[in-house]
Amino acid sequence: MEFNLIFVLIATLMTAFSIYLIYLIKKGINGLGFLVVLYLAGSMVVMFATLPIFFSTQNKITEAITLLANSFYMILGLFAILALSKKKLDNVRNSYTLFLFAVIMAISEALMGETFYSIETKTIGNPLLGVENYYYFAVMASEMLFTLVYFFKQTSYPLREFLIILLPLMIISPVIFPSNSTYIYDTTWVSSSLMIIGTIVIYETLYRSRLKQNQETMTSFELMIIYTLMMAGEFMFFLTGIWYLFDFSMITGMSWFIFRAIAGPSKIKGNYVRDTKWTFAFIFLTFVMEWFMGGVLDFASGVFSSGLSGFMSSLALGYVSPTSYFGLGSLFDFLSIVSTITGSVWFLLMMGTEMGMLAVFRIKDLKNTENKIRFILMITAYAVYTIYLPSFSPIASKVQYIPYMWSMGLGTLGPVSPSVLLTGIIGTYIVSAGLSFLFGSRQICSVTCTAPLMYQGTFYDSLKTFNRTSKLGRKTLSSRLKSWFKIITGIVWGSLLAMALISYLDQIGVLNITVLGNDPTVFLYSFYFNFLWYVVFISIPFMGTYACVTQGWCSWGAFNQFFGRLGFFRLKVRDPQQCVKCKTKDCTKACPVGLTDMPGNFIKKGEFKAYKCVGVGDCVEACPYDNIFFYDVRHKIRKLFNH
């Protein structure tokens, strides 16, 4: 109890002293005064770096080392300050020295925690262990809260919102009480929820300022790095039982928080719809963060067993020796690790929450009633069709036998067994082909598939500009099917049919062929939809949006697009002459699959019908004359009855 009181006193003094230093920085102190502040902050680092040595082994030698180190710092620092006092130091305060100050503040608190650890255990750990106690978090929270409140009026949008969201993420940490497993799991769910909100805010912030030449792109990227480090740290804990990476993310997060609150947003700016490399890096980093978050939620929900061996035993495709099959085993293991999480229900639920909110935000910008209804159906379909029915519903174990529920074609729910072949698989293809014939392939590609929810929210929808600006995206423009499109579609379909045949023959006992222990169609489906699809999605800046449609990567989409092309669905215009007069051709710019030949068809035929048209309806929204409308079996029936 005595030590606890001492700890509280030290932590309180540390907080007061640190807040005072931040206050001095806030006042705009510069020159020699700024160096004095750095010197005082550094004194805390030296003091708390040497005290653990003394408390771990209390003898004359460690006592001398502690006294000498602190005395040497004090004397050397004072001499340096006196030497510099005769020079002009007007430019000593800059972004680099402010960042140094922020890092020193964060490290000093971690070392304070390490000092408390050494007093309690009589051993030396490392500065990262100092993060794992509530004294550290009390000091950190107090300093960050003071910094936010004190700098609030001077902090501009969106940095202010970024700091507001990061603060509770830093405070609600699973390492405050690392021995309490219930607390760890509870805070894991809370921190994941807060991070989802933070990610949505970043997306929306960038989207709302997309017309500006300069945006806070680098500031957003920095925050996403912190999110990624935090999720990776939690993931590594469930794998190894060690918090060190998460501890490092806490120090990094606090350093960034104080630095950005003082220095303001990054001076490196850009515009994400014009910067291909930045946008790719940002999407890739976001995916990595979301992948770690999906894994953390799988651990927290019991889908994965804790520990490295538990995780490996939970892999959907299994694990083989990385050196097996002339090194191909390592590629298989990489695929198995990545696709296990991307195919898990918690990853899909987390992604659906983020992308679904972006889609909800976009609804209010839509003017076409039918498109608003489609958006509501799309969001509902993801929640019910993709998440609830196959994973949580009372009929979850029976959905494979219900037509239209064997989603995404071959290999989704399991092997091609005789028991599901007729109603589950063939029934799904028949029902889906019929719906595509009547209403167009939009019933899949713009409603029930997971892709439209991810492509059509505010931020990701704005990336369709890369359809025209990226080298590969430009090659997919217009409704014409290029020869390489047909080759890709043929390879995807041919491989799935071949694997489906092998799978069926395996199931009836004629063959016994597997892919490293996996059913052929399950393996290939996992490769195409749990791995390759995300590669295509992340590569939007280089491929354009909806590359699954424009380049033929999706077999299920290609099947429904074929029957949609044969059926009733098309786009029509009320007055072709209006298209002749139109100078902007906004419909082609808005199309997420790059159908640039729409206006010509509208003028010649009064309608547009194409294999690649999946009925997103952005052209209907973009038309300034409200001239374009959807046409499908409903209009055909209405026309027949009117006659």
pLDDT per residue as tens digits for the range 331-377: 999 999 999 999 999 999 999 999 999 999 999 999 999 999 999 99
- Residue at a domain's end among 300, 334, 363: 300
Q: Are residues 10 and 129 in the same domain?
A: yes
| C-alpha–C-alpha distance, residues 117 and 105, integer Å | 19
**For residue 235, what are the contacts with CB-CB under 8 A and spacing of at least 6?**
292, 295, 296, 299
Distance, CA of 342 to chain centre = 12
The tokens of 297 are what? 């939620």
Per-residue model confidence as pLDDT tens digits over 516-569? 999 999 999 999 999 999 999 999 999 999 999 999 999 999 999 999 999 999
Beta bridge partners of 572: 607, 629
DSSP H or E segment with residue 545 = none
Q: What is the mean pLDDT of residues 428-445?
A: 96
pTM assigned to the model: 0.93
Q: Check residue 45 and give its pLDDT.
A: 92
pLDDT (tens digit per residue) in 565-610: 999 999 999 999 999 999 999 999 999 999 999 999 999 999 999 9
Cβ-contact 617, 630 below 8 angstroms:
yes
C-alpha R_g of the chain: 30
Residues 293 and 410 in one domain: no
DSSP helix/strand/coil, 628: strand
| Mean pLDDT over the full length of the chain | 92
Q: Are residues 294 and 408 part of one domain?
A: no
Q: What are the b/e assignments for 504-521, b being 16+ CB within 10 Å?
A: bebbeeeeeeebbebbbb
Of 239, 265, 300, the residue at which a domain comes to its end is 300
Please check whether residue 387 lies inside any domain of the structure. Answer: no
Mean pLDDT within 93-102: 93
**What integer pLDDT is reported at residue 1 of this predicted model?**
36
Residue type, 300: A
Mean pLDDT of 260-280: 94
Evaluate whether residue 70 is within a structural domain: yes
**Helices (H), ranges, 444-568:** 450-455, 458-461, 466-469, 471-475, 483-507, 520-527, 533-538, 540-543, 547-550, 555-566
74 shares a domain with 214: yes
Q: Is the peptide bond before 158 cis (omega within 30 degrees of 0)?
A: yes
Residue 586 lies in a domain: no
Residue 140's identity, in one-letter code, is M
Domain that residue 539 falls in: 403-562
Within a domain: 307: no
pLDDT score at 643? 62
Above 90 in pLDDT, residue 64?
no
Considering the domain boundaries, does residue 345 fall inside one?
no
310-328: average pLDDT = 92
SS (H, E, C) 76-107: HHHHHHHHHCCCCCCCCCCHHHHHHHHHHHHH
Residue 51 and residue 200 in one domain: yes
Give the count of domains, the chain: 2
Tell me: do 18 and 138 sit in the same domain: yes
Domain match, 62 and 187 both:
yes
The helix, strand and coil proportions of the chain, stated in percent and rounded to the nearest 5, come to: 70, 0, 30
* Whether 292 and 430 share a structural domain: no
pLDDT given at position 316: 92
In a domain, 525, yes or no: yes
Angstrom distance (rounded) from CA 430 to CA 214: 50
Whether 289 and 429 map to the same domain: the answer is: no
Q: What is the pLDDT of residues 150-189, one digit of tens each?
A: 888 888 899 999 999 999 999 988 988 877 788 999 999 9
Q: 402 to each of 226, 372, 397, 419, 424, how far by Cα in Å?
A: 44, 29, 11, 11, 5
Q: Are residues 288 and 410 in the same domain?
A: no
Question: What is the model's pLDDT at position 522?
Answer: 94
Is the domain of 98 the same as that of 234?
A: yes
Give pLDDT tens digits for 107-156: 999 998 888 888 888 888 777 888 888 888 888 999 999 999 988 888 88
User: Looking at residues 395-403, what average pLDDT do you find?
Assistant: 93
In the chain, pLDDT over 90 holds for what percent of residues?
A: 77
pLDDT band at 2 (very low <50, low <70, confident <90, very high): very low
For residue 571, list its beta bridge partners: 608, 630
Record the tokens describing residue 599, joined without a space. Answer: 């206006």
Determine, yes or no, domain membership for 266.
yes
Residue finishing a domain among 519, 546, 562: 562
Residue 382 lies in a domain: no
415 and 540 both lie in a single domain: yes
DSSP 221: H
